[in-house]
Amino acid sequence: MADIRTEIAGLKLENPTMLASGILGQTGESLLKIINEGGAGAVVTKSIGMEPREGHGSPCALELDGGLLNAMGLPNPGIDAFETELKIALKGDAPVIGSIFADTGEKFSILAGKMEEFGASAVELNLSCPHADKYGLDMGSDPEKVREIVGQVKNSVKIPVFAKLSPMVPDIGQIALAVQEAGGDGVVAINTIKAMKIEPELGMPVLKNKVGGISGPAIKPAGVRAVYEISGTVEIPVIGVGGINTGMDALEYIMAGASAVQIGSGVHYQGIDVFSKVNQEISEFMDRKNYSKLDEIIGMARKGI
Amino acid sequence: MADIRTEIAGLKLENPTMLASGILGQTGESLLKIINEGGAGAVVTKSIGMEPREGHGSPCALELDGGLLNAMGLPNPGIDAFETELKIALKGDAPVIGSIFADTGEKFSILAGKMEEFGASAVELNLSCPHADKYGLDMGSDPEKVREIVGQVKNSVKIPVFAKLSPMVPDIGQIALAVQEAGGDGVVAINTIKAMKIEPELGMPVLKNKVGGISGPAIKPAGVRAVYEISGTVEIPVIGVGGINTGMDALEYIMAGASAVQIGSGVHYQGIDVFSKVNQEISEFMDRKNYSKLDEIIGMARKGI
Amino acid sequence: MQIVQVSEVINETNNIKTIKFKLPVESKPGQFIMVWIPGIDEIPMSLSYSDGITVDNVGEATQAIHALEIGSQIGIKGPYGNGFDLSENNFLLVGGGTGIAALAQAAEKLSQSGKNLRIAIGARTASDLLFQERMKAFGEVHVATDDGSSGHHGFVTQVVEKLIAEKKPDMILACGPEPMMVAVVGLAGDISIQCSLERYMKCGFGICGSCQCGKYTVCKDGPVFSGQQLAEIEDFGKWKRDAAGKPVWF
Amino acid sequence: MQIVQVSEVINETNNIKTIKFKLPVESKPGQFIMVWIPGIDEIPMSLSYSDGITVDNVGEATQAIHALEIGSQIGIKGPYGNGFDLSENNFLLVGGGTGIAALAQAAEKLSQSGKNLRIAIGARTASDLLFQERMKAFGEVHVATDDGSSGHHGFVTQVVEKLIAEKKPDMILACGPEPMMVAVVGLAGDISIQCSLERYMKCGFGICGSCQCGKYTVCKDGPVFSGQQLAEIEDFGKWKRDAAGKPVWF
Ligand SMILES: Cc1cc2nc3c(=O)[nH]c(=O)nc-3n(C[C@H](O)[C@H](O)[C@H](O)COP(=O)(O)OP(=O)(O)OC[C@H]3O[C@@H](n4cnc5c(N)ncnc54)[C@H](O)[C@@H]3O)c2cc1C
Ligand SMILES: Cc1cc2nc3c(=O)[nH]c(=O)nc-3n(C[C@H](O)[C@H](O)[C@H](O)COP(=O)(O)OP(=O)(O)OC[C@H]3O[C@@H](n4cnc5c(N)ncnc54)[C@H](O)[C@@H]3O)c2cc1C
Ligand SMILES: Cc1cc2nc3c(=O)[nH]c(=O)nc-3n(C[C@H](O)[C@H](O)[C@H](O)COP(=O)(O)O)c2cc1C
Ligand SMILES: Cc1cc2nc3c(=O)[nH]c(=O)nc-3n(C[C@H](O)[C@H](O)[C@H](O)COP(=O)(O)O)c2cc1C
Ligand code: FES
Ligand code: FES
């Protein structure tokens, strides 16, 4: 059987699949279930901020033909209330990565510090939410801001710091470079793509927030491209996310240069055992092709044949 | 029967559907057929440059699950050879819009001047191709460059000047504003989204150019969002494009603020009578809902209920 | 998301209305839909009929539903959730408040298949009692009101205790305030039971996690849970989560 | 795009090889596929077999196909295009050069359904003649070579003229260099004819426009066109378009 273990910035994972931030990641017990029953190699929490936040009004999530449209608006119980949840998740046998959002590097540092204190194995900075005003994409599209925030967070924690990026920039490689230059330990790509649905029957947008982000199969080609460009620009590891439903989907990301992948909408499409299924398909593929370690195929598509 | 005529910067169209640039738009006879047999209200030519250009190698186009992936690389016979084609297209009973690409405002102006001379009703500046090096997105993501190019072209032709934009920027409204400030007569959105496909079986990208752009259903939610944001930012008309296959798709764009729509991949999915079908569905919808003119519903989703 | 037109509005009690519309898909008793009142909100509602919902006016969204007229358009997502398992033979249904709405279609189906059922309905006062008449067609109806204005004076749980003592059902279905359901689970003892939970829902289809209750995602794994499952859920009857995901005690 | 493995390589002539593989979809005689030789190019190829292509080594891509070995992987898009209409009864098939590859499956199918067919094959010299043996199993084969090394000394069109004079077919199928097909259309007169065109193709599925020929998109509306359609196409036999879309005279 092929060895599908992987390592990202010192973080050792039994397999390359992680739960993506924001999907059932708000409570300790659901994170634990994704580890224990789903088979994920790691889980990322919902993005947590300084204060409790209700998020946008409803409708805030919708099934479209090729994906899911959401404008949750970063609802979360606030970092302090999240301690209990994180501690429950830590009972599982896989790393828990704390996703955080804020509007300044200082607040990001405070949040990261608390995540570290609570026991998170790493933090993921959400610099890419496409529908939450001043949070997310607004800063994540500016290399200077990215450099500043990542640098500040790096100065305040010892655990690895990952930055999650949006594809809605003309050159995502440049943003990834800013992450690397500031000492960031890894890049996660991609977050959802800004999108909306209008209901002609009513002549109005369906989402209460009008604009949201699309995830799922529709964004996979954009995600694979982003990972390919990032892994061609930086040395730090890349974690691929967007539209992964099958082992073949994950392999596209891995061959584009991802050391691990995250799955969000796939949990909806395939159920929570999407993680074990994807892992199974990856090892079957590797066995058939006589690859023995994941390392052999990471970034393979960059190398030519 | 509802009146579905529309007007964009003085250009009168019998219906709001146009052929999008690059789809069967390279020869005069195919453009003419889209008008005569397809029923399009206008056609946009393939993007034409100063010199003949073969474009990227093959594979350069691919069917994916939710859309089409292409990296044509702007093949075109060059502006001079295109005169014959444009003249043939002009035999049809609908405006012909000349799409052009270049790497400087000066060359854009020369191309626009020739399109005007050949008889084009308007020009569309391709500032958004995601896979043609220095052409396209590279300049189209910089408001200053956009302002400069549109300004120069405006100074050299009398026909309306439209700028076609990419969604791969953090704030498309700002780019549209630059178009308006420079005197541009309309904005076209969106071009394809940068994307790629890797074939795990071979461990390599399928496109010869590795990276291309995705069109079709997968990008509709991103396109509608772009039009919604642009029409909320500028006064000049917006032309919506991306993933339109049905009247309902077109209505989403129209209600988001588009005065007309373009159809590209839909020609592949539905055949060339996609234009008449979409028009038919739009009028049936309007009749059922008692709307008599297209104006009544343009931008409707911006207005609240 | 399907846009449907309101075809009928029925006043059930002072504060409760049934709204009917054409639901374009099949549903199972116990499933719910997400109802979008355009411009206002989207909220979860049990299907009290295959083509209708029964709504207590408790806030902005439910008030907006009460203001709908015939011809009004609303959006529907779903049906979502698992629904009840109706394979046993002797049923006791327990509905508190609008809880009976979630049980109504189960009662109808059970009666159609000739099964034995008794129905206990509780409310604060006689005029709040929901579906008393409708339920009589399906089985033996027992009523409790807090103020004694109709049926048993007191909690519906007291009626349940009596009914179980009279004849042991082989399945209890319950829906109502969680503390009531905790009490019914207690009374059930070794009798099989299924409870339909109402938790704060945002997406409705199992992606956002706001309805999480213990290890279960209520909108997808539920809203109907067996007694065994409930026994594993620490939160059950103790706390729920608010819109921000913070635990709030009942 | 499907990745398939080469299962067999057959040397047909000095410069022509047949490559077989498992094609995962059904095809019609006259349809073609886009063949991706990884790292090199993607080019259109007629299906000379339901599971194979027959390739003349004329440049980089076809040379790379010739270098394939059993087990090599290639990518396949399609089958694309319309294919031949085989509803008539008396057929004359005319293949010039590798053109006979596009006709081979039609010949096989016609012979299977017991129809009458004669086949004319042309090539520069005897050793270039393709599918002469294979075709004998399907019908009466007539050969022409430019140098007279086999069969008629001269153009295949002269053979066609003779065959029509001998017995009028009710359908002619032709594939080969366009000037040859122009000549065959001329000889056909009022006899129905279908010609399979080879134009520069990029996408293969009707979106890019590089194969445009008159008002027709060869990869989608064709590659097979009737005599009537060809009569409307000004370009037929006169000019084709290069990779940039510029007309180039034959
Ligand atoms: C699966 C399920 C089925 C339900 N079936 C019915 C039914 O058949 N009939 C009926 O009258 N009610 C039903 N409810 C409850 C109903 O959803 C709430 O009463 C309604 O959302 C209140 O909205 P509001 O804006 O009117 O009130 P608000 O003023 O917003 O809130 C009043 C209370 O309703 C609850 N609530 C508000 N929003 C939500 C939400 N998005 N999800 C869940 N609870 C919420 C909260 O506890 C809140 O305190 C059901 C709930 C669920 C989860
Ligand atoms: C529908 C169709 C069916 C065909 N069937 C066969 C067949 O069964 N057997 C066979 O040997 N050949 C067939 N061809 C022709 C074959 O596609 C070309 O010979 C091949 O593409 C040459 O590629 P190359 O790189 O080897 O040569 P190059 O050196 O690139 O070109 C040699 C010549 O081939 C033609 N050509 C090159 N690229 C293309 C292209 N993308 N599309 C069309 N023509 C091209 C041009 O005329 C060029 O001058 C077919 C072509 C078409 C359009
Ligand atoms: C309902 C929902 C909520 C999300 N919330 C977050 C979030 O809080 N933080 C974050 O970084 N990404 C969030 N995302 C984005 C996902 O983590 C992921 O990047 C995206 O959905 C693409 O992956 P997928 O196609 O596998 O879903 C959310 C996505 C969805 C669908
Ligand atoms: C094969 C192909 C070629 C294209 N060529 C061009 C082009 O030359 N210039 C341009 O502005 N857009 C070009 N586009 C983009 C389309 O005009 C359009 O913006 C995009 O495909 C989205 O619309 P659709 O989903 O309806 O196809 C091309 C698209 C495709 C699929
Ligand atoms: S409401 Fe979103 S997961 Fe249940
Ligand atoms: S090859 Fe692209 S349209 Fe025919």
Domain match, D160 and D45 both: no
Domain count, chain C: 2
Average pLDDT over residues C195-214: 96
Look at residue B211 and tell me whether its pLDDT is greater than 80: yes
Computed over every residue of chain B, the mean pLDDT equals 96
Look at residue B305 and tell me whether its pLDDT is greater than 60: no
Look at residue D245 and tell me whether its pLDDT is greater than 70: yes
Instruction: Tell me if B304 and C39 make a contact (CB, 8 A cut-off).
Output: yes
Tokens representing C33? 């839909």
Distance CA(A110)–CA(B201), nearest Å, equals 45
Distance B106 CA to ligand 4 centre (A): 24
Nearest to D173 by CA among D228, D137, D224, D131: D224
Nearest to A281 by CA among A302, A254, A250: A250
Distance A208 CA to ligand 5 centre (A): 17
Domain match, C114 and C228 both: yes
Confidence of residue A135 (pLDDT cuts 50, 70, 90): confident
Residue A305 touches partner D, C-beta closer than 8 Å: yes
- Under 8 Å between Cβ of C93 and C83: no
In this predicted complex, what is the ipTM?
A: 0.95
In sequence order, the β-bridge partners of residue A214 are: A69, A193
Q: For C211, how many CA atoms within 13 A lie in the half-sphere containing its CB?
A: 22
Domain match, C109 and C199 both: yes
Distance CA(A115)–CA(A240), nearest Å, equals 22
Instruction: Please state the CATH superfamily assignment of the domain spanning residues B6-55+74-194+216-303 in this structure.
Output: Aldolase class I (3.20.20.70)
pLDDT of residue B137: 78
Distance CA(C6)–CA(C20), nearest Å, equals 6
pLDDT tens for each residue of B153-171: 999 999 999 999 999 999 9
**Which amino acid appears at position A86 of this protein?**
L
Q: Which of C48, C80, C112 is the last residue of a domain?
A: C80
pLDDT tens for each residue of B47-86: 999 999 999 999 999 999 999 999 999 999 999 999 999 9
Closest residue in B to C40 (Cα) is B305
Strands D193-196 and D171-175 turn out to be parallel
Domain match, C152 and C30 both: no
Distance CA(C99)–CA(C118), nearest Å, equals 15
Question: In chain B, where are the structural domains located?
Answer: 6-55+74-194+216-303
- Under 8 Å between Cβ of B274 and B38: yes
Q: How many residues does chain B have?
A: 305
Q: How much of chain D exceeds pLDDT 90, in percent?
A: 94
Domain that holds residue D143: 90-249
Distance CA(B163)–CA(A12), nearest Å, equals 49
Q: Please name the residue that has the structure tokens 């122009």.
A: D182
Which residues does a 6 A CB cutoff place in the pocket of ligand 2?
D 32, 41, 43-46, 48, 53-56, 58-62, 98, 101-102, 198-201, 223
pLDDT tens for each residue of D156-210: 999 999 999 999 999 999 999 999 999 999 999 999 999 999 999 999 999 999 9
Q: What element of type H or E holds D76? A: strand D73-80
Average pLDDT over residues C125-154: 94
Look at residue B304 and tell me whether its pLDDT is greater than 60: no
- Under 8 Å between Cβ of A276 and A37: no
Helix pair A105-118, A143-156: axis angle to 10 deg: 40
Tokens representing C100? 């009976």
* Minimum mean pLDDT range among A38-42, B202-206, C92-96, D21-25: D21-25
Give the CATH number of the domain where residue D212 resides: 3.40.50.80
Give the CATH number of the domain where residue D64 resides: 2.40.30.10
Q: How many residues does chain D have?
A: 250
Domain match, D174 and D150 both: yes
Distance CA(B211)–CA(B259), nearest Å, equals 32
Write out chain D residues lying below 8 Å of B54, CB-based. Answer: 242-244
Distance CA(B127)–CA(D243), nearest Å, equals 23
**B141, B202, B225: residue with CB nearest A196:** B225
pLDDT of residue C25: 78
Burial A216-225 (b: 16+ CB within 10 A, else e): bbbbbbbbbb
- Under 8 Å between Cβ of C18 and C12: yes
Domain match, D74 and D188 both: no
Look at residue A305 and tell me whether its pLDDT is greater than 50: no
In testing the pocket of ligand 2, which one of D54, D134, D198 has its CB within 8 Å of the most ligand atoms?
D198
pLDDT of residue B303: 82
Active site residues of A: 129
**Which amino acid appears at position A205 of this protein?**
P
Q: Which of C80, C98, C121 is the last residue of a domain?
A: C80
- Under 8 Å between Cβ of D17 and D9: yes
Distance CA(B261)–CA(B267), nearest Å, equals 13
Average pLDDT over residues B287-305: 91
**Which amino acid appears at position C104 of this protein?**
A
Look at residue A304 and tell me whether its pLDDT is greater than 70: no
Computed over every residue of chain D, the mean pLDDT equals 95
- Beta strand extents in A137-256 (DSSP E only): 161-165, 186-189, 193-195, 198-199, 204-205, 212-215, 238-241
- Under 8 Å between Cβ of C143 and C152: yes
Q: What is the DSSP secondary structure assignment for residue A37, as one 8-state letter?
A: I
Q: What are the Cα distances from residue B173, in Å, to B43, B168, B265?
A: 25, 12, 25
Domain match, D100 and D162 both: yes
Closest ligand 2 atom number to CA of residue D58: 26
**A58, A61, A75: residue with CB nearest C41:** A58
Q: What is the DSSP secondary structure assignment for residue A45, as one 8-state letter?
A: P
How many Cβ atoms from other residues are within 10 Å of residue C7's Cβ?
14
Computed over every residue of chain A, the mean pLDDT equals 96
Domain match, D37 and D104 both: no
Domain match, C72 and C125 both: no
Distance CA(A253)–CA(A207), nearest Å, equals 30
In sequence order, the β-bridge partners of residue D173 are: D93, D194
Burial D64-100 (b: 16+ CB within 10 A, else e): bbbebeeebbbbbbbbbbbbbbbebebbbbbbbbbbb
Distance CA(C22)–CA(C30), nearest Å, equals 18
Domain match, D97 and D156 both: yes
Distance CA(B66)–CA(A15), nearest Å, equals 28
Helix pair B274-288, B247-256: axis angle to 10 deg: 70
Distance CA(A67)–CA(A198), nearest Å, equals 15
Q: Which of C29, C45, C80 is the last residue of a domain?
A: C80
Nearest to D123 by CA among D152, D102, D144: D144
Strands C32-37 and C16-21 turn out to be unpaired
Closest residue in B to C39 (Cα) is B305
pLDDT of residue B272: 96
- Under 8 Å between Cβ of C205 and C219: yes
Q: What are the Cα distances from residue D211, in Å, to B213, D195, D200?
A: 21, 15, 5
* Minimum mean pLDDT range among A245-254, C37-46, C237-246, D89-98: C237-246
Identify the sign of the CA torsion B305, C6, C10, C15: negative
Domain match, D214 and D243 both: yes
pLDDT tens for each residue of D54-76: 999 999 999 999 999 999 999 99
Q: Cβ-count burial of C116 within 10 angstroms (0-12 exposed, 13-18 middle, 19+ buried)?
A: middle
Domain match, D162 and D207 both: yes
**A76, A199, A264: residue with CB nearest C245:** A76
- Under 8 Å between Cβ of C248 and C239: yes
pLDDT of residue B12: 97
Instruction: Tell me if C206 and A201 make a contact (CB, 8 A cut-off).
Output: no
Torsion of CA B241, B243, B247, B253, to 10 degrees: -40
Residue C85 inside a domain? The answer is no
pLDDT of residue C94: 97
Determine phi and psi for B221, rounding to 5 degrees. -60, -35
Interface of chain D toward chain A, CB-CB under 8 angstroms: 38-39
Identify the sign of the CA torsion A206, A212, A217, A218: positive
pLDDT of residue D204: 97
Tokens representing B63? 């069917």
Distance CA(A260)–CA(A97), nearest Å, equals 13
Look at residue A121 and tell me whether its pLDDT is greater than 70: yes
Nearest to A193 by CA among A129, A246, A284, A138: A129
Distance CA(D18)–CA(D100), nearest Å, equals 13
Q: What are the Cα distances from residue D84, in Å, to D141, D182, D195?
A: 20, 18, 9
- Under 8 Å between Cβ of B278 and B250: yes
Computed over every residue of chain C, the mean pLDDT equals 95
- Under 8 Å between Cβ of D34 and D44: yes
pLDDT tens for each residue of B93-149: 999 999 999 999 999 999 999 999 999 999 999 998 888 777 777 788 999 999 999
